Chain A
Amino acid sequence: SQTIHQWPATLVQPVGSPLSLECTVEGTSNPNLYWYRQAAGRGLQLLFYSVGIGQISSEVPQNLSASRPQDRQFILSSKKLLLSDSGFYLCAGSGGVPGANVLTFGAGSRLTVL
């Protein structure tokens, strides 16, 4: 079964500072990987997804970027954080073959930008 590791669990950053959230996957090769953001209003907004190393699709224009340097590693970054970047960030993964639909989430990273 697939396990998603995500860190840090919480962080408080000043406006204008950089950000790096990391996610790694166990138990699956060539997974599809996703970054979601959950704001206070509960909805899960898809930010980025990746079907392979170096392949990133962005869903919404924003102050964030994502990278996939290795098959089981997915990184969310920002050069300069905005107040509006605050939220609960969830990394998720699914099996990398057609039909392997189940999405597994990491424990999340709660970001507060002050």
Chain B
Amino acid sequence: GENVEQHPSTLSVQEGDSAVIKCTYSDSASNYFPWYKQELGKRPQLIIDIRSNVGEKKDQRIAVTLNKTAKHFSLHITETQPEDSAVYFCAARGYTFYNQGGKLIFGQGTELSVKP
């Protein structure tokens, strides 16, 4: 079945440094790749997403890149701040005509710690 691998599982950086989280997916039909941020005890919140017809997308300090050939995508956070500390999840969704949307399969998460 579909699978999403995410690395690293934990990441510690100094405030102001960059953080990179990488994911690979197995389903070549996947065409939508969101990233979620989950603070302790709270629900996951969408922070950025990318579709398969785009190679890169930026939103202020956050960027996502996609390599469909290699089936991997990455989250880049620049100028990290303590409030960026959270668990980050990547996900991939395939599209099927039968269910009009496909399933969103998540990676195992990366716990990012930004030290002041």
Contact = CB atoms under 8 A, between A and B. Distances in A.
Contacts of A98: 95, 100-101
A102 B34 contact: yes
B32 to A, nearest CB: 5
Interface in A96-112: 96-98, 100-108
A44 B89 contact: yes
A102 to B, nearest CB: 6
A24 interface: no
B43 A106 contact: yes
Interface core residue of B45, B49, B100, B109 (most chain A CB under 10 Å)? B100
Interface string A40-65: 01111010010100000101000000
Contacts of A92: 104
Contacts of A104: 46
A97 B109 CA distance: 28
B44 A44 contact: yes
A103 B104 contact: yes
B103 interface: yes
A66 interface: no
A44 to B, nearest CB: 4
B105 interface: yes
B30 to A, nearest CB: 11
A44 B2 CA distance: 14
Contacts of A95: 101
Interface string B103-116: 11111110100000
A86 interface: no
Given A97-B100, A101-B32, A42 B43 contact: no
Given A44-B89, A103-B34, A96 B46 contact: no
A41 B104 CA distance: 19
A29 to B, nearest CB: 13
8 contacts: A32-B101, A41-B108, A42-B108, A42-B109, A51-B100, A98-B100, A102-B49, A105-B45
Interface of A: 32, 34, 36, 41-44, 46, 49, 51, 57, 59, 90, 92, 94-98, 100-108
